[in-house]
Amino acid sequence: MQPIRMAIIGVGKIARDQHIPAILANPAFQLIAAVSRHATVAGVSNFPSIEALLAAPLAIDAVAICTPPAHHYQAAKLALGHGKHVLLEKPPCTTLAQFDSMVMLAKLADRTLYQTWHSRHAPGVAPAARLLRERRLRRVHVTWKEDVRRWHPGQTWIWQAGGFGVLDPGINALSILTQLIDEPIFARSARLLVPSNCDTPIAAQIEFIGDSGLEISAELDFRHTGTQTWDIELSTDSGPMKLSAGGGVLTVGDERVAPDPAGLAGEYQSIYRRFGQLIATGETEADARPLRLVADILLVASDIAIEPFDPEAA
């Protein structure tokens, strides 16, 4: 079977770290082109804009959109309008109306839109979901603390309106929660710390409530320089469970059930396998729930202005 001919849109950290290696490692795909205003990818055709790519006499079947979220909608619209399948990085876009429109555009174009949540591919998430079908949750606590200077070096977009701030990694935790918890989740309150030189929060404390009364709390912090922590503690009627390493490790009581040998690389290999399946079956996969929770957090939040953020400070 002919491989799916791919173009990467946006050659930044995630494209280089994960998408390009995952495409090159999967014989079902062939990397044909890249779009970047500044960078080039060796061995493929390079274009300065998605418009230039789509106007070129070059056969591609699909694009992977790896730009900041404020640019996702326009790129997805153009690609679907030119008959390309679309794989979309998280966060999918900046408004719920854009999300709905993208799903509609994919349907009209009869092309696959795969709106990815990479953390759902972490190896602990599926076994945790299976176990939770037989248990009753009593309480959930999320601790998502990382160093923004390490994971988003030099990225100004993350501090601009539509850039999500600490809710950019935080939405990964929400993508896992919405996969694990089989009931509607409502944002109750949120305290967002916003540096005075930024539009978006650097830290957040959030309280949610499930439809059954389940209490869920979350602490997100981008200023964390110690051990990077992406944990979800699940208190259940049969004892504690914990997803750590962003969903890579599942501990049930004292027993490690799913250790994470591959980290993010394993998540992206899984994402491309799924993209190939969706294209083969002509399906779209898109789940707005994590984005809706972010929108609801912003609706109930109180913002607290704090000292300016200095990206260069140690």
Give catalytic residue positions.
90
SS3 140: strand
Q: How far is the CB of 121 from ligand NAP (least distance, A)?
A: 11
- Fill in the amino acid letter for 85: H
Residue 120 as a binder of ligand NAP (CB under 6 A): the answer is: no
59 Cβ partners below 8 Å, 6+ apart? 5, 32
- Which residue number, 214 or 286, has a Cβ lying nearer to ligand NAP? 286
Residue located via tokens 């890579």? 248
Among 6, 29, 64, 67, binds ligand NAP (CB under 6 A): 67
Please give the Cα distance from 49 to 45 (Å, whole number). 12
Among 25, 39, 52, 55, binds ligand NAP (CB under 6 A): 39
Q: Helix and strand tally (H, E) in the chain?
A: 10, 15
Q: How far is the CB of 122 from ligand NAP (least distance, A)?
A: 12
147 DSSP 8-state letter: B
Give the interface size with ligand NAP as a residue count (CB under 6 A).
Answer: 24
Q: Which stretch binds ligand NAP (CB under 6 A): 37-45, 199-207, 209-217, 273-281?
A: 37-45
H-helix or E-strand spanning residue 142: strand 137-145
Q: How far is the CB of 132 from ligand NAP (least distance, A)?
A: 25
Residue 71 as a binder of ligand NAP (CB under 6 A): the answer is: yes
223 DSSP 8-state letter: B
Among 4, 11, 180, 192, binds ligand NAP (CB under 6 A): 11
Given a contact cutoff of 8 angstroms between Cβ atoms, the answer to whether 306 and 194 are in contact is yes
Within 10 A of 174 (CB to CB), how many other CB atoms are there? 30
Please give the Cα distance from 90 to 68 (Å, whole number). 9
Q: How far is the CB of 207 from ligand NAP (least distance, A)?
A: 24
Residue 44 as a binder of ligand NAP (CB under 6 A): the answer is: no
Is the four-CA dihedral 143, 146, 148, 151 of positive or negative sign?
Answer: negative
Residue 170 is encoded by which pair of tokens?
Answer: 């935080």
Site for ligand NAP in 138-197 (CB under 6 A): 151-152, 155, 157, 168
- Which residue number, 90 or 111, has a Cβ lying nearer to ligand NAP? 90
Q: How far is the CB of 91 from ligand NAP (least distance, A)?
A: 6
Would you give the binding string for ligand NAP spanning residues 76-115, x where CB under 6 A is met? -------------xxx------------------------
Q: Which stretch binds ligand NAP (CB under 6 A): 51-59, 61-69, 225-233, 292-300?
A: 61-69
Please give the Cα distance from 21 to 263 (Å, whole number). 14
215 Cβ partners below 8 Å, 6+ apart? 139, 140, 207, 208, 209
Among 84, 85, 111, 118, binds ligand NAP (CB under 6 A): 118
Q: Which residue ranges make up the site for ligand NAP (CB under 6 A)? A: 10-15, 36-39, 66-69, 71, 89-91, 118, 151-152, 155, 157, 168
